[in-house]
Amino acid sequence: MTTTAVRPKSRRLSPRWRDYGRPRELLLRYLLLLLVLGLTVGPLIWQFLASLKGTGEDVFGANASLLPHHPTLHAYREVFSQVPVATYIRNSLIVVLLSVASQLLFSTTAGYMLSKPAWKGRRAVWILLVASMMFPFESIMVSLFLSIRDLGLVDSVVGVWLPGFVGAINVLLMRGAFLAVPREIEDSGMLDGASEWQRFRHLYLPSAWGAILVVTINTFISAWDDFLWPLIVLRSEDHMTLTLGLSRLQSSSFGYDQRVVMAGSVISVIPVLVLFVITQRWFYKGVSAGAVKL
């Protein structure tokens, strides 16, 4: 009678974890993710913790600690007492609403027309849009300012909004989303007697909702966080946007306090974080659905 040695069962990954690779690969992936998380979210967390420090605690230097010893909201109260935050928020919201409305209107209609093959010059327009994305904003900044000055829009919210009323990247994004709509859907609409506007409104727009959401979020973030162009155009405090107005906290006239500056930075980024947290699921779906085909 022969006996066979019983081999110990090797630990195997479950089918769910097997799809992600070996344990060593998983560890490397998580380490890279933690590194990226620290580089992106770390500065924001540090600013928030620094804004909670009291006047006797150091923000920089060898004696500075990461966590505040005596958390306080004194810096946030100073922000609202030193500058008119409500006025800045109102002006920023006006610029954001104008930018989102114009971007959605012109990018969807222009993207729809570029997705149609039956008109001459379509490829030339597409090439011009792609070429316009190769020039940085700084290269056309002076000419834009001269145009805004000639129109009499210096020191106005409209002057801040007008240069960004439509973006080439958003037009190409919507074009890719409309190209992904099956041709059979439009053919069926034409057989039912739907006009061009009806096909655009009832067939194409519902199919490109993901790309529309991406355009909305990108426009909101870029218009809300813009600093350079408002700095060039705006003069009076009543017309300043939030990012530009809060930068005045760094001037010596307000008694430069590092904690107050950190609190102002946190206030300016809160709306963007709230918007992204609420819409992140649809944002990623829209990127994968409409942003891959230009």
Place of tokens 């490397």: 28
Q: What is the mean pLDDT of residues 35-44?
A: 86
Amino acid at 66: L
CATH superfamily label, 76-290: MetI-like (1.10.3720.10)
Separation between Cα atoms, residue 219 and residue 226, nearest integer Å: 10
Confidence of residue 119 (pLDDT cuts 50, 70, 90): confident
Q: How many helices (H) and strands (E) does the chain have?
A: 15, 0
Which regions of the chain carry the CATH code 1.10.3720.10?
76-290
Confidence of residue 96 (pLDDT cuts 50, 70, 90): very high
CA angle 251, 146, 227 (to 5 degrees): 35
Say if residues 177 and 208 touch (Cβ distance below 8 Å). yes
**186 has pLDDT over 90:** no
CA–CA distances in Å: residue 127 to residues 116, 132, 168, 172, 242? 15, 9, 11, 11, 36
Percent of the chain scoring above 90 in pLDDT: 21
Least confident of 38-47, 58-67, 190-199: 58-67
- Comparing C-alpha atoms, which of 240, 271, 84 is closest to residue 159? 240
Q: What is the mean pLDDT of residues 161-183?
A: 88
**206 has pLDDT over 50:** yes
